[in-house]
Amino acid sequence: MSAELHAALASIRLPAVEQLLELMARVKVAELTTPEVLGLVAVFEAAEQRVNAAAAPVLALIARDGEGRRP
């Protein structure tokens, strides 16, 4: 990332973090749709891998007959 882009994004980071924390306090996981949950998992797994955290578990796709299938 270029220094200019990094500086521009830094100025909006704190308000965005505050908005994220407010949303996390209001939105309940049980109210999310499956695509929304999967989207959030994908974002957090990508961030986890980027910061060299421990590997996240692999999502297993479950077929309608209940058999687990790995992507």
pLDDT of residue 65: 63
Q: What φ, ψ does residue 59 adopt, rounded to 5°?
A: -70, 135
**Domains in the chain: boundaries:** 3-69
In order of 1, 8, 13, 18, 50, the CA distances from 56 in angstroms are: 25, 31, 25, 25, 11
Tokens in use for 41?
């998992």
pLDDT tens-digit map of 9-63: 888 888 999 999 999 999 999 999 999 999 999 998 888 888 876 655 566 666 6
Report pLDDT for 55. Answer: 56
pTM here is: 0.56
Q: From residue 50, how far is each of 1, 31, 36, 43 by CA, in Å? A: 14, 28, 21, 11
What integer pLDDT is reported at residue 10 of this predicted model? 86
- Residue 47: the pLDDT is 86
